[in-house]
Amino acid sequence: MENYTHAFIAPKLTAFIIPVLFICLLAVMLVVGIVIMHNMKSTGISVGDGFLTVNSLFYGRKIPLEDIDLNNVKSLNLHDERNKEYKITLRTNGIGLPGYLVGWMRLRNGRKALVYITDRTKVALIPTANFDVLISTDDFAGLHNALSK
């Protein structure tokens, strides 16, 4: 009796497309994750030369100090019910991760806000004519003094 040998039919080229696309998607997600983590570490603010400057990879901005409503700059704890009008209700263009929120948002009071939040209990509210800036800071007094000069 003769031995039987069978060779499988080679898969069509289209069978390799899904795994290749999956690997490409994973690579893109890895790159995006690395960029976001770098952005998380490099975000900062400075006050000088007549501007409040927010350094951020995606949402950096220079705001003229004359556009800031200094009488209404205040420190907020967004977990406190007394500050519920400043709670974020809609992310219109931004990144939201646990412990990291950056981008354009809509607040409960209806105002548009540019947000840079890493700690919701230590947030500086910096209102301007067209939008509010919400940014986490450990030194609210120093920021307020710099804006007031």
How many Å apart are CA 37 and CA 78, to the nearest integer? 24
Count of other CB atoms within 10 angstroms of residue 45 = 20
- Tell me the pLDDT band of 1, cut-offs 50, 70 and 90: low
pLDDT of residue 86: 94
CA gap 131, 68 in Å, rounded: 10
Higher pLDDT, 36 or 93: 93
pTM of the model: 0.76
- Position with higher pLDDT, 52 vs 32: 52
